Amino acid sequence: MEEQKSPRFRKRETEVYVGNLPLDISEEEIRCLLKDFNPLHVHKIQNGCKCFAFVDLGSMQKVALAIQELNGRLFHKRKLYVNSNRRSPKKSPDVAERPQELPVLEKASGQGFARTTACAQFTPKASGDACVPEKPRTSVFAVPMEMRGSFLVLLLRECFRDLGWLATIHGIGGEVGLLVTSIVPQTPFFWAMHVTETLHQNMQALFGALAEAEEQQPYLHDLAVRRGTRCLAEYHLGEYGRAWNRCWVLDRVDSWAVVMFIDFGRSATIPVQSLRSLDSDDFWTIPPLTQPFMLEKGVLSSYQVIHHILKGKITGALNLESHILKFEEFK
């Protein structure tokens, strides 16, 4: 109750935690790091060999966006830990910088992860301790930032200009085959290609054109790489090799660019010097090959699912994110 009365507690939901900062960093440098989110206040804390900060961004929306764009990025050769400050940080050093979940926007159908109890199998207990399980609670999940409508509309408008084809998405239904290109760990959300004859034609035309363009398109000038830049980059397909793909720059940190691969539905951090120019509208006539989906039953929790075709049926769209279709897999 005392914590709820505290002004500091009421402000936490608009703050973002930034960990693993250099010891000699100034509050002004931290403010510059988050300049795209218009920080209101920066509170730097140095504890021994650890340095972190709490930054008030003014809204939960900016907090979620900052987490999406900065968490795991390199800054002064350090991997940043950026997460929400909705809970007080743990005092124990091994968990002080552990990322927390994004705000929950959607409740997933089905059970999701195993419901939590006080008897978690990974929690060591002294012999003889009584283990009384808590009442099970329904699992909830957050819609990943790269799948939220406001983010996607911004990205798609920058890349494709004409979004007339978006109206056809709501007409998709019934039995389908989905080629999974990317999954979001510990959530039921994933990106997939809706396998159709049109998709095969678009894939052949697009990847053929990009393969030819790779040798002809010049590398981007350093100053040209900024948020919203349309470009060409190499996408790693794991054991399947590599492919050049259309991408959009989400953010830039020093000599690294955070990009979204349009046709695979996946973000990555790559060197700025490896980006090639691809701004001509001729390369953006084919709509993105992937689309976001949510599995209605069960959770896609393994990267082994990527590059597999899931067979099932589309049963509708999410209420809050109408561009994300609900998919039920045939067992």
Judged on CB neighbours under 10 Å (0-12, 13-18, 19+), 32 is: exposed
pLDDT grade, residue 95 (50/70/90)? very low
pLDDT for position 139: 55
- Work out the average pLDDT over 129-140: 52
Query: What pLDDT, on a 0 to 100 scale, did the predictor assign at position 85?
Result: 64
Q: Read off the pLDDT of each residue in 213-219 and give the average, rounded to a whole number.
A: 87
- The residue assigned the tokens 């005092």 is 91
Query: What is the chain's length?
Result: 331
Q: Name the token pair of 137.
A: 């609670």
The sign of the torsion formed by the CA atoms of 300, 147, 64, 276 equals positive
CB neighbours (10 Å) of residue 6? 10
What is d(CA 44, CA 217) in angstroms, rounded to the nearest whole number? 44
For residues 121-146, average pLDDT? 55
2-84: in CATH 3.30.70.330: yes
Residue 263 is classified by DSSP as T
Residues 234-279: tens digit of each pLDDT: 888 766 677 889 999 998 988 999 999 999 998 889 999 999 999 8
Spatial contact of 264 and 245, defined as CB atoms under 8 Å apart: yes
Output 95 or 52, whichever has higher pLDDT: 52
- Cα–Cα distance, 294 to 32 (Å, whole number): 36
Distance, in Å, from the CA atom of 129 to the CA atom of 120, rounded to the nearest integer, reads 13
Q: What pLDDT, on the 0 to 100 scale, is given for residue 261?
A: 93
Buried b (16+ CB within 10 A) or exposed e, 150-174: ebbeebbeebbeeeeeeeeeeeeee
How many angstroms separate the CA atoms of 192 and 263, rounded?
9
User: What CATH number matches the domain at 145-329, 2.60.40.420, 3.40.50.720, 3.40.50.10540, 2.30.30.140?
Assistant: 2.30.30.140
Terminal CA-CA length for the chain: 48
Give residue 136's pLDDT band: very low, low, confident or very high (50, 70, 90). low
* Cross-strand bridge partners of residue 78: 75
Q: Do domains 2-84 and 145-329 have the same CATH topology?
A: no
Question: What are the angstrom distances between the C-alpha of 265 and each of 30, 113, 281?
Answer: 30, 23, 20
pLDDT band for position 231 (50/70/90)? very high
Per-residue confidence at 137, pLDDT binned at 50, 70, 90?
low
Tell me the per-residue pLDDT of 31-64, one tens digit each, with 9 for 90 and over.
Answer: 999 988 889 989 888 876 788 899 988 888 888 8
For all residues of the chain together, what is the average pLDDT?
78
Please check whether residue 130 is in contact with residue 275, taking contact to mean a CB–CB distance below 8 angstroms. no
Residue 159 has pLDDT above 70, yes or no: yes
The full set of domain ranges for the chain reads: 2-84, 145-329
Question: What is residue 185's three-state secondary structure?
Answer: coil
